[in-house]
Amino acid sequence: MQRIHGLQTANIYIFARTISSYAHLNPGCKASKYLHLNQAVTSLEHQGDKDLAAYAQVLQECSRLKALSEGKRVHACIAKSRFQEDRYLKNLLVNMYGACGNLENARKMFDMIPRPNVFSWNAIVSAYARHGRSKECIQLFQHMLQKGVNPDNFTFVSVLHACGERADLAEGKKIHALVADSGLISHPFVISALVYMYGKCGNLDSARTIFNSLSKREVSLWNAMIAAYAENGDGKLAIQLFNQMQEEGVKPDRITFVRVLHAVSGAGGLPLAKSIHAQISKSGLELDLIVSTAVVNMYCKCGSLEDAETFFAKMPERDVVPWNIMISSYAQLGNAKRALNLFQQMQQEGVKPNKLTFISLTSAFACPDFLKAGVQLHYLIREGGFELDIFVGASLLDMYSNCGSLEDAYQMFQKMPERDVVLWNAMIAALANHGKSELAYQLLGKMQLENVKLDKFTFVSILDLCANRGDLERGTLVHAGLIEKDFEFDVIISNALITMYGKCGSLKEACRLFEAMPEQDIVSWNTMISAHAQHEECKAAVKLYRKMWQKQIKPNQFTFLGILDACARLMDLPEGEVIHSHIIDNGFELDTGVATALVNMYCKCGSLNDARIVFNKVPEKDVVLWSAIIAAYSQHGHGKEALNLFDQMVNEGCKPDAVTFISVLSACSHDGLIDKGYYYFKCMSTEYGIVPTKEHYGCMIDLFGRAGQLSEAESWMVNLPFEPSYELWTTLLGACRVYGDYVRGKRAAEHLLELDPSNFLPYVVLSNIYATAGRWEDVIKVKKLLDREVSNQLEFSSLQGT
């Protein structure tokens, strides 16, 4: 130990240099790098060395490794040395704190520099740019200019990056002019930063103009242009540029591959993804952590979790980011079990979760089946110190809400020390989704009393409330408020307004708003198509769909859901077949939601064979799709095939829900399968925990009624766990008419008349039952009762008129 503590100045300097060399030779061995760094810092602490170079080297290594605790120890050593006022070391300290994300200490250190030079300004400006504090970064840059310090290429790169992140095109153009005046317009990194800025601001023409202006293009410039296309959703052009780059002899680097992998995720599909992966393998960059993480992300975005899993398992080093990607991908697919397994494996391997890990997991557990797991996850979040993080808190609130535990959601809301508008919006939406509209309105009032500034998403939640309640009056008032705030033509707000007017029955106003929108996105078109379908304006919905195609707006799965609903309501098979061809062309045929809508459309149009073909093609069928095909066979009178499908569904591990059992019981009813119907009704609650609703009881009463077992049907009516509805008594009365049971028919008719004395249908049906049985005296009695009731109704109407 004495030997280490007594290291001479030269030895410390050499040791620090060794750290840097070791980092390059062993890029994957973080533990070794930290160990060597810690030894170097320990040596500095015990030696009290007077060599400025040693402090500088160790500080630079702290910055590279983002080793904040070691950096602070070096800072303490410098504070005790004769170099405590040295500007060079202060600049390095600003850079170290900035690299480690400690912007508060970086700024304090910067403010202690009496006359900051361009290196000082670069250190603090880049620190704020690197950590997403773009607004402060631009302000610091402006302050730098006011102080008369001329920016260099590093300054411009940082501040252009900040402008890009803020999508601040106006400020970006000003800085472009400063770059031109400075003579740095030809610097490769500055040119790349300009292309990056224009790309992030959506100005692809300016980005491409700058790119094309250079005959010799460095790899950084190619990377920036590829990123510009990828960021703006033009993956095909990004990939074309990647190919052109290699044709011109420019070798891709790790950043190139990260950019092009992002582009492939959005446009290329799996075959192209594998082709790019093969190029990465040949380049020797496959084991680079950043590149390998991008490969995992690409496979997940392309929908090939199998390939993602295979590659993920081979990664020699995995930090929290690839774990989060895998967990998030399974969470988005609703595979909570696999997401949880990955989380447990991650912990076993000693990788510490961050808040993004927990946010992904809470989204995975956001359904009633996973409430228990969600509560356990909440405990881990609390233990990890993330519970009161605003984003994690909002995700927990959302999880409890989706699990049906509104009380836990509200407790989470109350627990948060700071509640931003996002959290208020989440709680209001949770109350609205659980039918607690009045409480949601009250919370909105409280939100305003606490001076929380409402954002457009708050208004979207309010409009959703109005839409779900059919509250046109309040929705119109909200609309008036939006006009005052100049929010009316924000595309998200406009879409919410269109939805509200559509659901509240004011289709004309929805159309007016749609036509007045300066720009309509795919959501706007989808909303209008669905609104017209729901208002039985199905031909208008089809016209809208065709107009959308003429404007070359690419449909998504929600477009197809709306237009297929319209075709089903119209029973327009030829139009439905045209839509089906569009679905195939756009790659949505295997989407379970779209497949379900296709099955429903073909069923309504009488083409059961086509419905089955669609169903058979879907590799992974959910409960909704199974229920749709079972309902299709049931409605077409193929009860036995419907039950066979149900058995197949269960055998394949898909758990039926309440809707499935309505179709199953209906199939039993149509085929007179009493024993099977009774069996399925019982196992619905005993095996699947589904509480029967009035629809299920109605199916059973219809089952017994159709089979002529009217005594059993009436017994079920008498023993219902709730008051029999008008529809249920109508079902029994209809069965009595078929089998001529005037005794029970009379009792059913009497119940119906009690529920709705103004409806004459029970009289008519009962009269027909008596007539069939040859009880003409009773027919006359019923006719007299009916005449008297009609007379009373007319007299009442006359009194109302006066």
Which residues neighbour 199 within 8 Å (Cβ) at sequence distance 6 or greater? 164, 207, 224, 225, 227, 228, 229, 231, 232
Q: Give the pLDDT score at 161.
A: 92
Q: Which pairs from 787-793 meet CB under 8 Å and 24+ separation? A: 789/757, 789/760, 789/763, 790/760, 793/758
Domain segments of the chain as ranges: 336-418, 419-519, 542-616
Average pLDDT of span 211-219: 85
Under a CB-based contact definition with an 8 Å cutoff, are residues 98 and 124 in contact? Answer: yes
Under a CB-based contact definition with an 8 Å cutoff, are residues 523 and 490 in contact? Answer: no
CB atoms within 10 A of CB 697: 22
Of the two residues 772 and 138, the one the predictor is more confident about is 138
Q: Give the pLDDT score at 789.
A: 58
**Per-residue pLDDT tens for 367-392?**
887 888 889 999 989 988 888 888 89
Q: What is the DSSP secondary-structure string of 421-488?
A: HHHHHHHHHHHHHTT-HHHHHHHHHHHHHTTPPP-HHHHHHHHHHHHHHT-HHHHHHHHHHHHHTT-T
Q: Give the pLDDT score at 778.
A: 67
Q: Judge whether residue 4 has pLDDT over 60.
A: no
3-state SS assignment for residue 731 = helix
Average pLDDT of span 15-26: 40
CB atoms within 10 A of CB 534: 18
Q: Give the pLDDT score at 10.
A: 36
Residue type, 655: K
Average pLDDT of span 190-197: 91
Of the two residues 566 and 271, the one the predictor is more confident about is 566
Q: Give the pLDDT score at 78.
A: 84
- CA-based R_g, the chain, Å: 35
Residue type, 613: I
Of the two residues 782 and 315, the one the predictor is more confident about is 315
The gap from C-alpha 272 to its chain's centroid, in whole angstroms, comes to: 26
Under a CB-based contact definition with an 8 Å cutoff, are residues 388 and 417 in contact? Answer: yes
Q: Give the pLDDT score at 599.
A: 94
Average pLDDT of span 656-664: 91
Average pLDDT of span 779-786: 69
Vertex 100: Cα angle to 109 and 103 (nearest 5): 45
Q: What is the DSSP secondary-structure string of 654-714?
A: PPP-HHHHHHHHHHHHHHT-HHHHHHHHHHHHHTT-PPP-HHHHHHHHHHHHHTT-HHHHH
Average pLDDT of span 754-766: 71
Distance CA 395, CA 491 (A): 25
Q: Give the pLDDT score at 775.
A: 77
Residue type, 205: D
**Per-residue pLDDT tens for 466-522?**
888 888 888 888 888 788 777 767 888 888 899 899 888 889 999 998 988 888 889
Q: How many Cα atoms sit within 13 Å of 528 on the Cβ side?
A: 25
Q: Judge whether residue 138 has pLDDT over 80.
A: yes
Which residues neighbour 160 within 8 Å (Cβ) at sequence distance 6 or greater? 172, 175, 190, 193, 194, 196, 197
**Per-residue pLDDT tens for 308-349?**
999 999 888 888 999 999 999 888 887 888 998 999 999 898
Q: Give the pLDDT score at 9.
A: 35
Structure tokens at 305: 């979790």
Distance CA 280, CA 562 (A): 42
DSSP H helices in 551-604? 557-570, 573-585, 592-604
**Helices 421-433, 437-449: inter-axial angle, 10-degree rounding:** 160
Report DSSP state, residue 99: H
First to last CA, the chain: 111
Tell me the C-alpha to C-alpha distance, in Å, between residue 700 and each of 640, 690, 707: 17, 15, 11
Distance CA 294, CA 285 (A): 11
Under a CB-based contact definition with an 8 Å cutoff, are residues 172 and 164 in contact? Answer: yes
Q: Which pairs from 533-538 meet CB under 8 Å and 24+ separation? A: 533/562, 533/563, 533/565, 533/566, 533/569, 534/502, 534/503, 534/565, 535/502, 535/505, 535/507, 536/569, 537/507, 538/566, 538/567, 538/569, 538/570, 538/572
Distance CA 495, CA 710 (A): 52
The gap from C-alpha 491 to its chain's centroid, in whole angstroms, comes to: 18
Q: Give the pLDDT score at 264.
A: 81
Q: Judge whether residue 3 has pLDDT over 60.
A: no
**Per-residue pLDDT tens for 533-570?**
988 899 999 999 999 988 888 888 899 999 999 999 99
Under a CB-based contact definition with an 8 Å cutoff, are residues 398 and 365 in contact? Answer: no
Structure tokens at 527: 């909303």
**Per-residue pLDDT tens for 96-137?**
998 888 899 989 989 998 888 899 898 899 999 988 888 999
Closest CA to 37 of 53, 7, 17, 52: 17
Q: Give the pLDDT score at 57.
A: 86
Distance CA 254, CA 289 (A): 10
Closest CA to 75 of 62, 128, 53: 62
Q: Judge whether residue 770 has pLDDT over 90.
A: no
Closest CA to 9 of 43, 59, 33, 39: 43
Distance CA 447, CA 682 (A): 47
Average pLDDT along the chain: 84
Q: Give the pLDDT score at 600.
A: 93
Structure tokens at 365: 């557990």
Closest CA to 359 of 382, 321, 391, 326: 391
- Percentage of the residues of the chain whose pLDDT score is greater than 70: 91
- Which segment of 147-156, 256-265, 336-345, 760-769 scores lowest on mean pLDDT? 760-769
Distance CA 70, CA 722 (A): 70
Structure tokens at 545: 């769909």
**Per-residue pLDDT tens for 349-358?**
888 899 899 9
**Helices 118-130, 87-99: inter-axial angle, 10-degree rounding:** 10
Under a CB-based contact definition with an 8 Å cutoff, are residues 299 and 273 in contact? Answer: yes
Q: Judge whether residue 1 has pLDDT over 90.
A: no
Report DSSP state, residue 81: S
Q: Judge whether residue 631 has pLDDT over 80.
A: yes
Q: Give the pLDDT score at 52.
A: 83
Structure tokens at 484: 């005052």
Distance CA 460, CA 470 (A): 15
3-state SS assignment for residue 244 = helix
- Which segment of 42-46, 75-79, 272-276 scores lowest on mean pLDDT? 42-46
